[in-house]
Amino acid sequence: MAIYTLNTSIAYLKGVGPNRADLLKSELGIYTFGDLVNFYPNRYLDRTQFYKMNQLQQNAAEIQVIGTITAIKTVQQKKGSRLVATFVDETGAMELVWFRGVKWIKTALKVNTPYVIFGKTNYFNGTFSMPHPEMELLTDYKKSLRTALQPIYPSTEKLSNKGVTNRVISKMVESLFEEVNATFTETLSAAIMQNFGFISKTDALLNIHFPKNQELLTKAQQRLKFEELFFIQMQLIRKKMIRKAKIKGYNFDKVGDYFNHFYANKLPFALTNAQKRVLKEIRKDMGSNAQMNRLLQGDVGSGKTIVALLSILIAIDNGFQTAFMAPTEILATQHYNSLVELLNGMDVTVKLLTGSTKTKERKLIHEQLQTGELHILIGTHALIEDKVQFYNLGLAIIDEQHRFGVEQRSKMWKKNELPPHVLVMTATPIPRTLAMSVYGDLDISVIDELPPGRKEIVTAHRYDKNRLSVFKFLKEEIAKGRQIYIVYPLINESEAMDYKDLMDGYESISREFPKPQYQISIVHGKMKAEDKEYEMQRFLKGETQIMVATTVIEVGVNIPNASVMVIESAERFGLSQLHQLRGRVGRGAEQSYCILMTSFKLSDDAKIRLQTMVDTSDGFKISEVDLKLRGPGNLMGTQQSGILNLKIADILKDGNLLKLARKQAIELLTNDQSLAKPENIMIKTAYIEISKKSTIWANIS
């Protein structure tokens, strides 16, 4: 007799074979017995209730009935034929109908033999019918592993068309339990099982596929969700521990003249308590002999740049250079300008390197980098090109990191014999549960208060019919000497349409705000870099009062005098984008406004997004709503969503379980990092197995 393990190919399972195996692989990613065991139902139907024919209602609920087939006929149609069977019990009759697979179903049906049928009913001309019912002989039904709660598995149209129905998948799982004798190796330690009152792995798998009752189903789900989250956290935390132990970093042991001079004489405003706390965390990291890998989260305008600059000055005090990488030329230029301004009068050399840096300037930058006279190099991903060689790179700062792929970031590491300290900054707040899952191997710092004197931005939602009163308000603001942004959406698939929207908008604004009284700048993706820069500069210098733009201004561009942000077709923007755009105003001391313009036609999601923007300016609250609306994979962008292909846990709903799993993983690894203790042998075996298959490493910063 063959011995099957969880690594056995699915083709060898009874009822599968090579053709179905290929389907299962391509449609559901099921290659082995183990993949099928971990292919969990996504809902359950209560199959305890049986209906009589005379109890049937004219609704589309799924029901089950016991009865017998008394007659079968084939009815010709325009295309092909359909099969109709008369199905009766002692109270009445209904029709069973098949439109596909007519030939083989006809030969398989048994007349005058009791069946259990299940499906949705239709009612037409006084007769009930059930198309493509799930059917099972009553004798088989009584013998099978079946339970009151019937599992419904995720499926695809192709599987249904090829006859691999829910019933067939359920049968496969049943065969698998028979083949492996319904016993599975335990993956958690006795201590964890006891602490949390978990049922065994075998009981959990049995009750996730064939729950005996609601209570056991809940216990099975809790156990399997915890386990999934626990092993993800084990990987992240172990990776972080190994990195801290093995990957040595430069020891920035002194805080010297550059830092102290700037702090005492040049700091434009007193640091908030949150900024001081974060700076302390960074200083501790950089002075610890281990490489820093820290994520700095802070809302738009919370003062991340000052924290970054103070970190850079510590690097300079210790004789090291810094690379500061931003995702766009506009943002890189903005960082360059603000650092040059802040460091004015200090003996610190700062240069900017982007795609449009002239060859002569590039040559000079390369020379100064290699001699060490250049302290700070700011730029786009041009910084990671092989020809950019540093004298001694000690700190790499990456802004809006979700726009850089993992591979791009890792190139920074290879610029030195020791990897530089890494500070990753983002103004897109990430909900705590998501941060624990996606960035669990980074240390996380949060600036959670705005500098004093910043007024909250007033946000309002207005419909197109209110446009005239909005224009009146804009004129009042301009009369006070303020400037206005008017932003149009840019959705790549329809660039022509977006361009038209922008130009139409520009024309109607030009009519409403005529020259010479008003001056308008326009910026969009089709313009040459120098033309964009020219228009940006005009707006920055106050030569134009209105900037009409696409989302190129989403990040960067700091214009304190701009007090109003009008977002056209606001329903076409995601929440984090709306929040980022709103952050372009409110940079000065004056009261600022954000006006969300939409048509009346709004989806439910769009209404929630707009209402959220009106209700709060807290980036973390906004990101929680965004996470609920979009799901974790979409929120992180494709390169990070791989880690979140969870089989049973849900980052949103299982936040508390995630915290428990993380706490347990930290505790366990702190006491037994290499999982060598005998009581952790089961965890170690499972961990090694999971690490082999998991793509987690590729998805983490």
| DSSP characters over 47-77 | ----B-GGG--SS--EEEEEEEEEEEEEEE-
CATH 3.90.1200 fits 1-47+146-182, yes or no: no
CATH 3.30.479.30 fits 458-616, yes or no: no
Query: For residue 412, how far is the Cα from the chain centroid?
Result: 24
DSSP 327: S
Which contiguous run of DSSP H or E holds residue 437?
helix 432-438
Per the CB < 8 A criterion, the answer to whether 335 and 408 are in contact is no
Is 321 exposed, middle or buried (CB count within 10 Å of its CB: 0-12, 13-18, 19+)? Answer: buried
Output the pLDDT for position 634.
52
- The strand pair at 393-399 and 43-46 is best described as unpaired
Closest by CA to 444, choosing from 418, 426, 462, 460, is 426
Per the CB < 8 A criterion, the answer to whether 10 and 173 are in contact is no
Q: Where are the beta strands (DSSP E) in 125-190?
A: 127-131, 134-137, 149-152
The sheet carrying 421-426 orders its strands as 350-353, 376-379, 321-325, 393-399, 421-426, 293-298, 443-447
Exposure b/e, 290-304, CB count within 10 A at least 16 = b: bbbbbbbbbbbbbbb
Cβ contacts of 492 within 8 Å, gap of 6 or more: none
Task: Please count the CA atoms within 13 angstroms of the CA of 628 that sit on its side-chain side.
Answer: 11
Between CA 302 and CA 277 the distance in angstroms is 13
Query: For residue 402, how far is the Cα from the chain centroid?
Result: 10
Cβ contacts of 162 within 8 Å, gap of 6 or more: 23
CATH 3.40.50.300 fits 257-447, yes or no: yes
Token pair 């931003």 is at which residue? 326
The parts of the chain modelled with pLDDT lower than 70 are 1-3, 59-61, 145-147, 401-415, 490-500, 551-557, 631-645, 694-701
Query: Which residues share a beta bridge with 114?
Result: 68
Per DSSP, the three-state class of 486 is strand
Q: Where are the beta strands (DSSP E) in 357-457?
A: 376-379, 393-399, 421-426, 443-447
Which contiguous run of DSSP H or E holds residue 597?
strand 593-598
Closest by CA to 96, choosing from 62, 63, 69, is 69
Domains 1-47+146-182 and 63-144 equal at CATH topology level = no
- Tokens describing residue 481: 């000497």
Output the pLDDT for position 636.
47
Q: Longest C-alpha distance within the chain, in Å?
A: 98
Is 155 exposed, middle or buried (CB count within 10 Å of its CB: 0-12, 13-18, 19+)? Answer: middle
Per the CB < 8 A criterion, the answer to whether 203 and 177 are in contact is no
CATH 2.40.50.140 fits 63-144, yes or no: yes
Which contiguous run of DSSP H or E holds residue 245?
helix 214-246
Output the pLDDT for position 123.
85
Measured in degrees and rounded to the nearest 5, phi and psi for residue 4 equal: -105, 140
Closest by CA to 306, choosing from 250, 254, 266, is 266
In the chain, what are the domain boundaries? Answer: 1-47+146-182, 63-144, 187-246+658-683, 257-447, 458-616
Between CA 563 and CA 579 the distance in angstroms is 15
Output the pLDDT for position 396.
92
Cβ contacts of 674 within 8 Å, gap of 6 or more: none
Output the pLDDT for position 499.
62
Between CA 29 and CA 43 the distance in angstroms is 19
- Tokens describing residue 178: 């028979």
Output the pLDDT for position 694.
62
Per DSSP, the three-state class of 135 is strand
126: left (phi over 0), alpha (psi -120 to 50) or beta: left
Cβ contacts of 690 within 8 Å, gap of 6 or more: 231, 235
- Tokens describing residue 148: 């009151």
Per DSSP, the three-state class of 561 is coil
The sheet carrying 546-549 orders its strands as 458-463, 593-598, 562-567, 483-487, 546-549, 520-523
Q: Show the 3-state SS of 635-670.
A: HHCHHHHHHHCCCCCCCCCCHHHHHHHHHHHHHHHH
Between CA 345 and CA 564 the distance in angstroms is 34
